[in-house]
Amino acid sequence: MDTVVLLTCTGLGLGALYFLVASGLSLIFGLMDVLNFAHGALLSVGAYATWWAGTEGGMGFWLAVVFGTAVGTVAAVLLELVLIRPLYNRPRDQILATVGVGLAVPALLMGIWGADSRPFPQPAALSGTVGLFGAIVPVNRFVLLAAAALVLVALRLFLSRTRYGLVVRAGVEDRAMVTALGIDVRKAFTLVFAIGGAAAALGGALSGLYFGSVHPGQGTSLLIFAFVVVVMGGMGSVTGAAVASVAVGLVQQFANYYTAAGLGDLSVVVLLAVLLLVRPRGLTGRLA
């Protein structure tokens, strides 16, 4: 029983991490048709900025997380304005440009801080464990879950209650029609990149908490599972991404524990392939 509880909590924590990466990825793809290969790099930037602020910057943990998220947001906005915007009429080149950034940024981080994992500052309040149904669960799992829930609620509110959210939702549904109605969707592009970058950078900051360390390839290794989540959840759907990330996180944890190690990762990527073949439009069946 306690093993099951621990695995569930860990799986949910991992799912929360996936959600933070996938929510932005999903919105960006849904709105702009750009598969953002640089999203993992944004996560790494957030993780390193938080780590830097927490150790060399001398900030407290929460301030460091805010700092890391802000740096990631700025990086995402810069990426959109400088690299994606001039390529609006060349869709494939947009993907290629993000591939280039996805290669260059982790390499730059590696150049500055080395290829080895750096231990992440753990605040005393979050490094402990709590007993839950007889299982001893690290507190940071719940921090991740809370952050993901917060982001989910905030995104839902933003999308359903604000005018910009309306434009984004309409743009995901039919971009040409929104443009025809005289609304400049391109402003929403930058906004969506900023939101996605903020969520990914927050994910990066908290992934340091989850894994206990940061390394340059952290974002890239999470990115593929985030793709799985995005496809499963239906591209452009935030709620779908939330459901899918929980499913993926749980399947991965349980399969890795109860069968051979690595089989969980394998089963998830095979799941992606099978799903795309059976339902090319994703689970929620909205967009291809």
- Residues lying near another protein in the complex (CB under 8 A) are found at 29, 33, 35, 83, 86-87, 90, 92-93, 95-97, 99-108, 110-112, 224, 227-228, 231, 260-262, 265-266, 269-270, 272-273, 276-277, 280, 288
Pick the closer one to another protein by CB: 200 or 268: 268
- Least Cβ distance, residue 112 to another protein (angstroms): 5
Other C-beta atoms lying within 10 Å of the C-beta of residue 136: 12
- Least Cβ distance, residue 174 to another protein (angstroms): 17
- Least Cβ distance, residue 101 to another protein (angstroms): 6
Q: Is the dihedral of CA 55, 61, 67, 68 positive or negative?
A: positive
Pick the closer one to another protein by CB: 5 or 224: 224
In angstroms, the CA 182 to CA 267 distance is: 46
- Least Cβ distance, residue 266 to another protein (angstroms): 5
Q: How far is CA 239 from CA 173, 199, 229, in A?
A: 15, 15, 11
In angstroms, the CA 99 to CA 38 distance is: 6
210's tokens: 């989850």
CA 42 to chain centroid? 9
- Least Cβ distance, residue 189 to another protein (angstroms): 17
Pick the closer one to another protein by CB: 96 or 130: 96
Q: Where are the alpha helices (DSSP H) in 56-90?
A: 61-78
Roughly how many angstroms between the first and final C-alpha of the chain, as a whole number? Answer: 40
Pick the closer one to another protein by CB: 251 or 276: 276
90's tokens: 């060349």
DSSP letters of 239-262?
Answer: HHHHHHHHHHHHHHHHHHHHSSTT
- Least Cβ distance, residue 32 to another protein (angstroms): 12
Pick the closer one to another protein by CB: 29 or 48: 29
Pick the closer one to another protein by CB: 107 or 170: 107
